[in-house]
Amino acid sequence: METLAYYNGKIGELDEVSVPFNDRSHWFGDGVYDATCAANHVAFALDEHIDRFFNSAEKTCIDPGIGKPELRALIQSLCKKVDCPDQFVYWQATRGGLARRKHAFPREEGDKACGGSGEQAAPPANLWVMIIPSEPADTTKSQTLLAVEDTRYLHCDIKTINLLPNVMAAERAAQAGYDEAVFHRNGRVTDCAHSNISILKDGVFRTAPTDSLILPGIARAHLIRYCEELGIPVDETAFTLDDLYDADEAILSSASKFCISVSAVDGKPVGGRAPELLGRLQDAAIAHFKRETVG
């Protein structure tokens, strides 16, 4: 197969698989997702991404309808069905129950309210998987950022499919000729439109705390681990736009970016003052990816 789409057991090319009209993703964006990349048909850091996926589902009272081992086996088996060995792997769960548009959850007889008895307030989720040919970003190429006020809601720690503010920010950056948008809230740097951002300053790796204002990125967690292995101090406290402008290096991280430098923010040159330290982190990221996806 050139591409793959999966919906509740149905498998086909992306333009062949349809989704029921009453799936709640259409009405409310009522779902959560996760994604990673694959090489040699092997999904990278899959267990960590599945753990985060289940965490997002729990916070939104969505029953994935499948266990972690079963989901892992399913995704790995689907990766093998796509011809290209280098892939972007995406999956999501939308709230179960194909019901007419209504804000409250669809319920089955006997279900209890979310957060009450612990039972889910809706039937098992609708499970989607998409796999397309894709290669990880080139870590030798830096990116430019446009600073955008963070107007997202206060559940940024949940990887929800409600991404309209991210989409609008990314488009605003693209129209202005930038590669990515970096969010700030009252001066504090939070996330980028589709990646985490961290900085290096005076030999210290600084990254925002994993509170409700940022997504707890898997690649971000990997960078912290590489720092610990390399003896690089880590500071998980909030930093500002001024800190970003003055950083020795600024770093984007995501499932496909791993560890990419930033060369400019709002048209002002940024970074370039700690290339050796940055290179050590990039080498560690690439080595980790190759180890896990050797086949």
Q: What is the pLDDT of residue 187?
A: 87
Burial 166-191 (b: 16+ CB within 10 A, else e): beebbeebeeeebbbbbbbbeebbbb
Q: What is the pLDDT of residue 117?
A: 46
Residues 181 and 268 in one domain: yes
Task: Answer whether 0.85 is exceeded by the pTM.
Answer: yes
Token pair recorded at residue 186: 């009252």
Residues 280 and 170 in one domain: yes
Residues 161 and 279 in one domain: yes
Question: What are the residues facing 196 on neighbouring strands?
Answer: 253
Residue 100 lies inside a defined structural domain of this protein: yes
Do residues 6 and 17 touch, judged by C-beta distance below 8 A?
yes
Residue 48's domain comprises: 4-133
Last residue of a domain, one of 103, 133, 163: 133
Last residue of a domain, one of 74, 105, 133: 133
Residues 162 and 187 in one domain: yes
Residue 161 lies inside a defined structural domain of this protein: yes
Alpha-carbon torsion angle 129, 130, 131, 136, nearest 10: -100
The number of folded domains in the chain is 2
Q: Respond yes or no: is residue 68 known to be catalytic.
A: no
Residues 214 and 154 in one domain: yes
Domain of 64, CATH number, reads 3.30.470.10
Residues 51 and 164 in one domain: no
Residues 283 and 155 in one domain: yes
CA distances (Å), origin 35, targets 13, 112, 130, 189, 240: 18, 31, 9, 23, 28
Residues 93 and 173 in one domain: no
Token pair recorded at residue 43: 């999904």
Q: What is the pLDDT of residue 99?
A: 81
Spell out the per-residue pLDDT of the chain, length 295, in tens: 999 999 999 999 999 999 999 999 999 999 999 999 999 999 999 999 999 999 999 999 999 999 999 999 999 999 999 999 999 999 999 999 788 899 998 876 555 556 554 454 568 999 999 999 999 889 999 999 999 999 999 999 999 999 999 999 999 999 999 999 999 999 899 999 999 999 999 999 999 999 999 999 999 999 999 999 999 999 999 999 999 999 999 999 999 999 999 999 999 999 999 999 999 999 999 999 999 998 6
The pairing of beta strand 10-12 with beta strand 4-7: antiparallel
Residues 80 and 19 in one domain: yes
Q: What is the pLDDT of residue 120?
A: 46
Catalytic residue among 10, 80, 159, 201: 159
Question: What are the residues facing 36 on neighbouring strands?
Answer: 89
Give the number of residues written for the chain: 295
Residue 138 lies inside a defined structural domain of this protein: no
In 10 A of CB 277, how many CB atoms?
Answer: 18
Question: What are the residues facing 180 on neighbouring strands?
Answer: 145
Dist. CA 148–CA 193, nearest whole Å: 9
The pairing of beta strand 31-39 with beta strand 87-94: antiparallel
Residues 167 and 42 in one domain: no
Domain of 286, CATH number, reads 3.20.10.10
Residues 287 and 170 in one domain: yes
Token pair recorded at residue 12: 């086909």
